[in-house]
Amino acid sequence: MIRIIAMLAFSLVLINKSYATDYYIHPQGNDNNTGLTAMAPWQSLSKASDQQYQPGDRLLLAKGQQFYGMLSLNQQQGQLNKPIQISSYATSDSSEQFAYIEAGNNNAALSIINSSYIEITELALSGTTATPKSKSKYLQVKPMRLGVLVKATQPGDYQGIVLKNLTIKDVFYHQVGFQRGDKEVKTANGQQSYGWGIRVINNLKNASISNLTISNNTVTNIAHTGIKFTSKYQKISDIRVTHNEVTHTGGPGIQLSGVKNGYFGHNLVNYSGSNDDSRKWGRGSGLWTWSSDNILIEHNEFSNASGPGDSAGVHIDFNCSHVVVQYNLSTNNAGGFCEILGNNFNNAYRYNISVNDGHRVKGVEGAFQEGKIFWLSGYQGQNNARKGPFNSYFYNNTIYVDESIETKIAIDKRADGILIANNIFHIVGKSKAVLGDQYVADTANASVAKNVFFENNLYLKQDNWPEKVMIKDSNPIYGDAQFLNKGGLTKADYTPTNITLIKGKGINIMPLANDAVGLKVGLKLQKDILNNPIGKQPSLGAIEVR
């Protein structure tokens, strides 16, 4: 009798509990189990998806085990200091770090819909085994395959999603051998169905997704974009994307559309725009922004972006403001180093190092755009007149291009507000001016960009800045910075050893004339790309000479 009473009491506590509970899931479990111990785990992801979790609850998947299907968290609400956690637990028969979820014929391995304060850690996610049978009711767009989907589908303020220490790999919509259309790579983002690593989507005016963290993840071998944010109304805000490794994506490594207030730091993006699989899109910058505001991109490495168009290390697409690209290493990106398109306001590239960027040649191997080391374009969509960009700041960057590359530069005559100062242009080979060519080439005439401050840059040779570019350096400096290791692929390789030529030869950066704003984060920096303090009178380039 006492035992029966105790069991009833325990059941009532479970029903009315206010404390956190751990739930376990193992492929050899049983959905009729309580799931409350590793000895009595649930079996299926559908069972785990049906559970209504309380703040502080944990759902734990067995490490080293493979689960098939989609784990769906719909309208789950944790709290700021008591998030709902999804992670892995150790078993006696496995020493592996993660549990594995393979999406099977579902659109996503993991979906988080209309939820707040969810923390996902220590899982491996993929989508390779079968083409999804139909689109998910949550996607409401053309079918796609995803590693992780975070989405708002109902009005509300959703926040506090954390994705960290995940491995997301091998995400494709189609099966091996599928050939994407030849013209796909020339469309803005592709018109066929693709696989995506992590997607965050909110296209509702009366919903928001905020305070989202994506950190310490590995995202690799993805048909399209590795990490992507999409919002029509800038209703994705206050996000942090840090310490991720994103490699071999068929599209961009990281892309944000309609994001407000974002920090992107210490990420490694390599081989974006990959075409090593016929299912991949085959074009993509390491990171690019569209219609976003107040974005800081720093201390990242962007390497080996490829594709017939775009495919820079970082590019700022149209309708952005206060996007600052600083302290990054950009190497061997086909599309180039600096790209700022139309209707952009008060954006900057500063204290970055670029090595052999912009090697793509229009017309070679299907390329429809030139690779360009520096490109300002008024392009703001195929159906809109070109405009801007406005108040573009480009200073204290170090640019090295070896003799195998013909360096190309394009500046739109509609650009209004350009500052180019304190940069090192160490261009060993030839340079030339080209027309901006975002789908339709700019027209050449005698018009000149307005409100230009262009002086005090160091050039290896007098022809480093092409004669036919419409604007000229009013006070150029010529000489060899004598880098520590020309052609190297680390930041320190581009430490100048010609001290007398570099040290203290920079000028202090002031706002452009007619620009009352400057940059939200300020024009003056305290440290260089190697974290050295910047003197009262800065050096030339990205590394402060001491």
Segment 294-344, tens digit of pLDDT: 999 999 999 999 999 999 999 999 999 999 999 999 999 999 999 999 999
Segment 69-89, tens digit of pLDDT: 999 999 999 999 999 999 999
What's the number of domains the chain is made of? Answer: 1
Least confident range of 128-137, 353-362, 392-401: 128-137
Given a contact cutoff of 8 angstroms between Cβ atoms, the answer to whether 276 and 256 are in contact is no
Residue 134 has a pLDDT of 56
Residue 7 has a pLDDT of 41
The answer to the question of residue 21 being in a domain is no
Residue 131 has a pLDDT of 78
Residue 140 has a pLDDT of 47
Phi, psi of 11 (to 5 degrees): -65, -40
Alpha-carbon distance values, 38 to 11, 12, 62, 73 (Å): 19, 22, 9, 21
Summarize the confidence of residues 1-7 as an average pLDDT: 39
Residue 18 has a pLDDT of 53
Least confident range of 16-30, 134-148, 170-184: 134-148
User: Which of 275, 287, 232 is CA-nearest to residue 257?
Assistant: 232
- In three-state secondary structure terms, 82 is strand
Tokens of 220: 């690799």
Residue 94 has a pLDDT of 73
From CA 436, how far away is CA 479, in angstroms rounded? Answer: 29
E strands in 383-461: 390-395, 398-401, 407-411, 416-421, 424-427, 431-433, 437-438, 440-441, 450-455, 458-459
From CA 513, how far away is CA 450, in angstroms rounded? Answer: 10
Segment 402-444, tens digit of pLDDT: 999 999 999 999 999 999 999 999 999 999 999 887 666 777 6
Summarize the confidence of residues 213-241 as an average pLDDT: 98
Helix runs in 490-531, H state only = 499-502
Q: Residues of 142-173 as b/e, b for ≥16 C-beta within 10 angstroms?
A: ebbbbbbbbbbbeebebbbbbbbbbbbbbbbb
Residue 36 has a pLDDT of 98
Q: Is the pLDDT of residue 133 over 70?
A: no
From CA 423, how far away is CA 426, in angstroms rounded? Answer: 9
Q: Is the peptide bond before 389 cis (omega within 30 degrees of 0)?
A: yes
Residue 445 has a pLDDT of 62
pLDDT band, residue 446 (cuts 50/70/90): low
Given a contact cutoff of 8 angstroms between Cβ atoms, the answer to whether 26 and 60 are in contact is no
The answer to the question of residue 490 being in a domain is yes
Segment 33-61, tens digit of pLDDT: 999 999 999 999 999 999 999 999 999 99
The answer to the question of residue 357 being in a domain is yes
Residue 182 has a pLDDT of 86
Residue 135 has a pLDDT of 52
Least confident range of 9-13, 32-36, 213-217, 487-491: 9-13
Segment 330-345, tens digit of pLDDT: 999 999 999 999 999 9
The answer to the question of residue 306 being in a domain is yes
Length of the chain: 546
Summarize the confidence of residues 106-128 as an average pLDDT: 97
The answer to the question of residue 158 being in a domain is no
pLDDT band, residue 130 (cuts 50/70/90): confident
From CA 458, how far away is CA 460, in angstroms rounded? Answer: 7
Summarize the confidence of residues 133-157 as an average pLDDT: 80
The answer to the question of residue 31 being in a domain is no
Q: Is the pLDDT of residue 14 over 80?
A: no
| DSSP H or E segment with residue 71 | strand 71-74
The answer to the question of residue 79 being in a domain is no
CA 231, 232, 237, 240: dihedral to nearest 10 degrees? 40
In terms of residue numbers, what domain contains 469? 302-546
Residue 235 burial (C-beta neighbours within 10 Å; 0-12, 13-18, 19+): buried
**End-to-end CA, the chain:** 83
Residue 143 has a pLDDT of 85
Phi, psi of 4 (to 5 degrees): -65, -40
- In three-state secondary structure terms, 8 is helix
User: Which of 193, 52, 218 is CA-nearest to residue 133?
Assistant: 193
High-pLDDT (> 90) share of the chain, %: 86
Residue with tokens 């209707």: 343
Segment 499-529, tens digit of pLDDT: 999 999 999 999 999 999 999 999 999 999 9
Summarize the confidence of residues 5-33 as an average pLDDT: 70
High-pLDDT (> 70) share of the chain, %: 93
Residue 93 has a pLDDT of 75
Summarize the confidence of residues 392-399 as an average pLDDT: 98
Residue type for position 427: I
Tokens of 523: 């024009």
Q: Is the pLDDT of residue 449 over 80?
A: yes
From CA 229, how far away is CA 118, in angstroms rounded? Answer: 18
The answer to the question of residue 75 being in a domain is no
